[in-house]
Structure 1
C-alpha cells in the first residue's frame, strides 16, 4: 500500500503503549498516533515531564479526543516499575501495539548499575523492554497486536558482539550503547521467531530512526528546547541528519502499517534520513546463536519467562489472525 507518513491511516479504536514518551522519538511517535485517531498510553519515568508532553499534544492536536492520551509511569531500568506498569496495562484488556522506545542514548562515562544490579544502559535499553514484552504478551495476543523494538545505525558501524553484555570488564560509553542496541535488535528478531513457533498472534518488528537530532527538530515547550548553539551544530549536518519528528516515521510505520510483517527491519530511505522503508539489519543482530544467548541472558537477568502458551491460547480464544 502507499504510505504517507504525514497522513496516516485512520487508527480510531486502536490503543498503543509508547515507552519514553516525554521527549524525542517517543513524543513524536505519540503525536503522530494521536493525529491518526489512536489512543496512546504515554509512559515515562518523570511525572512532570510526562505531563508537559501530554500538554504539548493537546496544544498541537487540538481536535484530538480528551482521552487521547493517558499517563503511565514506567522506568525500564527498574524491573519492579516494569512489572507494576504492565499489570496496570493488562487490566485494561487488549493492546494493539507497544513501541519499545525508551532508552539511554548518552551513556555515562563510567559504568553504573541499576537498583536491580544491572549495567544501566543494557538494563534500560534491552532488559527492561524484554521484560515488558513478556509481561504484556497476553494483552497483545488478545488484540493480535505488535511490538516494535527500536534499533540503531550504530550496530552496522561498530557491531560489537555482546559476549559480556553487562560490561563487567572493558566498559566504555560507546560500547555500552552499541552493545545494548545489538541486544535490543537481536531480541526483537528472536522474539518473532519464538512467537511464530508458538503460534502466538503477535508480531515482533525492529525499526531504527536514522540520524535524528534535537537541533533539527521543532521547538516544543517542555519537550524539545535546543539551544542556539545546538541548532547551529545540528544544522551543519543537514545532508545526513533529520528531525526526531521524521525519525519517528519508521517506528510508527513499523507499529501500524498492516503490510508490515514480523521479523522485518524498517528505517529511513537513505539509512540516515528520509521516508520509511524496509532495510537490512546488521549481520550480528540476525545471528541465531547470538540471539539465543542474549535471550537466555535476558530471561535470567529479569526473571521473566515469556508466557508463549498462555498468549497462544489468549489469541486463539479471540479467533483473530496475527497483525
Structure 2
C-alpha cells in the first residue's frame, strides 16, 4: 500500500508531556505533508481514540491513536471504506494482520491487536514507528558506508525471520522501511505484509494458485516476478540487493522514466548501473550477487546474505583500524525484540 504520509513525529517538551510532566495530546507532524483531517478523528475503535490520519491508500487508512486507559500511542491500520462490502478484501486484510503478528523481530513492526468497528470494517493495531521512511531519508543523499552495513544486516536478518516463518515478503522497498529514532540510534523497521505469500503452500491453500499477473512494486521486482516464474526466498534477496544499492547511491539500479514495459525489460535483461568508485568493494560484490538475473546466482537465502554482509562489514572495519566483535570470537546473533 502506498500511503500519502506514513510517518509521524511528536514535538514539544518531553515528546507529549507538558513541562510539569502531565500527559498532553501529542502534536503530530507527518513528514512530507500535514496529518489530514478526517471525520473519524476523536472517535474510538475499542479502547483506542483516533487522533490523526497519518495516511491512506487504495486498500487501507492508517491512524495515529492512543489507548485511552494505558496512554500508549499506536498506529491503527483499517480497511478502506470502499472495500468494506467485499468479503475477499476482509479475508486478505485479516491474513495480512495474522502474518505480521506471527513474526517477531526487533526490526519488524509489532502487531498488537485486531478488531472491527461498529460497521464491521476490520482494523489492526500496531507499534507506532515514529520517524521517516528510508525512501524519504535517501532524498537527502546516500547513507554512509557504516550505516549502510548496519541497516542492511538487520533488515536482511528480519527478512530471514520472515522466511523462517514460511513467507516471502515480495514488497521490500525503501518506502516500507521506517527509520525510528531510539536514543542516538536510528532503528530500521520493516512494515507492510499486504502481498506476502507462503513459501510452501499446501495444495488447497490460495497461495498455491498462480496469480496470473504481476504483483508488487515494479522498480524493486525480481525478474522472476515479472516473468511470472516461481518465487522463493531469493526473490526477497533480490529486493534487498536493490535496497542496498539504493542506500549506497540514493538511486535505483535500473533506469527509470520510460514505459512500464521498458522498465520491465531493463530489469529482466540489462545489468544494473555501475556503483560509484567509492563503494566498498566487498559490498559491491554482494550487491551484484543479489542482483543476478538467475536466482541460482544469488545468495541462497537471507541468512546467507546476513553472513556475507557481516564478513564484509568486519573487513571494512578492520581496514579502518577497528577490531569487530566477530574477529574477537563473538558472533552477532539473530536480533530479537
| Higher share of residues assigned helix | 1
Structure with the bigger percentage of strand: 2
Greater Rg over alpha carbons, structure = 2
Bigger relative contact order, structure 1 or 2, given CA contacts below 8 A and separation 6+? 1
